[in-house]
Amino acid sequence: MDQPVVLITGALTGIGRAAAVAFAKKGANVVVTGRRDEAGSELVEELRAFGAQAEFVNADVRNEDDVRAMVDRTVARFGRLDVAVNNAGTEGQPGPITDQSAETFNATFDTNVLGVVLSMKHQVRAMQEKGSGSIVNISSTYGHEGAAGASVYVGSKHAVEGITKSVALEVAKDGIRVNAVAPGPTDTGMLTRFTGTPENKAVLAAETAMGRLGLSEELADAIVFITSAEASYITGHVLNVDGGMTTN
């Protein structure tokens, strides 16, 4: 088969960026999306240096016109969409339930949940046309556990996992696989914002069996695997990549 055509949301930093680099190193054609044109152009140059064909599309996943355009431009440029990585996410405004509001709820769910729904709607449309495809949604170990002080984010990631499994069942006979990757604490800008201090970060690292944070590159390797032909009989699955944090 030709090199896969891969679309990644929220690809300008952290896990999404590492996934873009990992796919590019394997020779994939990569469309990276995000909200900042200059950073997008820089990333495209970096990916092309690996010999990949790469494009940037400015897309906010909360906006259906942006999402439709990111999928349509991928298909117009490369002829099809093979792999989609729905990575864009926000930690929202962590804090106790008494501090939450309709605004903090919407700000979190609009990106983490509506963004995934809109993205899959248009990705599945493109994949059904050719009868195959592979989607991975980036959840969290908090997508199947509770976490004090993070109720809204936790709820949004629980939603991502339920939606992932439901869409996997809907489209399995169309030749489309839908899975989730659930990172444990991974050393990115989001974790730095979420924890607030190096001491809090160290506490999370200590909660893993391996006693350390994950690297974006380790998450990227799991994303590449679960979307690849090597995972051809896996669908509706949530893959923890968490240094054993959720292993009892």
> Looking at the annotation, which residues are catalytic?
153
d(CA 9, CA 164): 16
Element (H, E) at 21: helix 14-25
d(CA 59, CA 3): 24
Which of residues 132 and 202 has its CB atom nearest to ligand NAP in the complex?
202
Cα separation values, 141 from 68, 138, 234, Å: 29, 10, 19
Smallest separation (angstroms) from ligand NAP to the CB of 231: 19
Smallest separation (angstroms) from ligand NAP to the CB of 57: 11
- Within 178-217, the residues that bind ligand NAP by CB under 6 A are 183, 185-186, 188-191
Which of residues 130 and 201 has its CB atom nearest to ligand NAP in the complex?
201
Q: Which of 8, 30, 54, 60 binds ligand NAP (CB under 6 A)?
A: 60
Are the C-beta atoms of residues 99 and 109 closer than 8 Å to each other?
A: no
Taking CB under 6 A as the binding criterion, the range among 55-63, 68-76, 165-173, 225-233 that sits at the site for ligand NAP is: 55-63
Smallest separation (angstroms) from ligand NAP to the CB of 110: 7
Which of residues 130 and 202 has its CB atom nearest to ligand NAP in the complex?
202
SS3 133: strand
d(CA 222, CA 215): 11
CA 32 to chain centre: 12
Smallest separation (angstroms) from ligand NAP to the CB of 18: 8
Binding flag, residue 8, ligand NAP (CB under 6 A): no
Which of residues 6 and 138 has its CB atom nearest to ligand NAP in the complex?
138
Q: Which of 4, 10, 40, 133 binds ligand NAP (CB under 6 A)?
A: 10
As separate numbers, helices (DSSP H) first and strands (DSSP E) second, the chain gives 9, 7
Element (H, E) at 46: helix 37-48
Count CB atoms within 10 A of the CB of residue 171. 19
Q: Which residue has the tokens 């030709």?
A: 2
Which of residues 60 and 218 has its CB atom nearest to ligand NAP in the complex?
60
Binding flag, residue 88, ligand NAP (CB under 6 A): yes
Q: Which of 4, 6, 8, 14 binds ligand NAP (CB under 6 A)?
A: 14
d(CA 162, CA 89): 16
Per-residue interface string for the shown chain with ligand NAP, residues 100-129, x marking contact by CB under 6 A: -----------x---x--------------
Cα separation values, 30 from 1, 63, 78, 83, Å: 16, 21, 9, 9
Positions in the binding site for ligand NAP (CB under 6 A): 9-10, 12-16, 34-36, 60-62, 87-90, 111, 115, 138, 140, 183, 185-186, 188-191
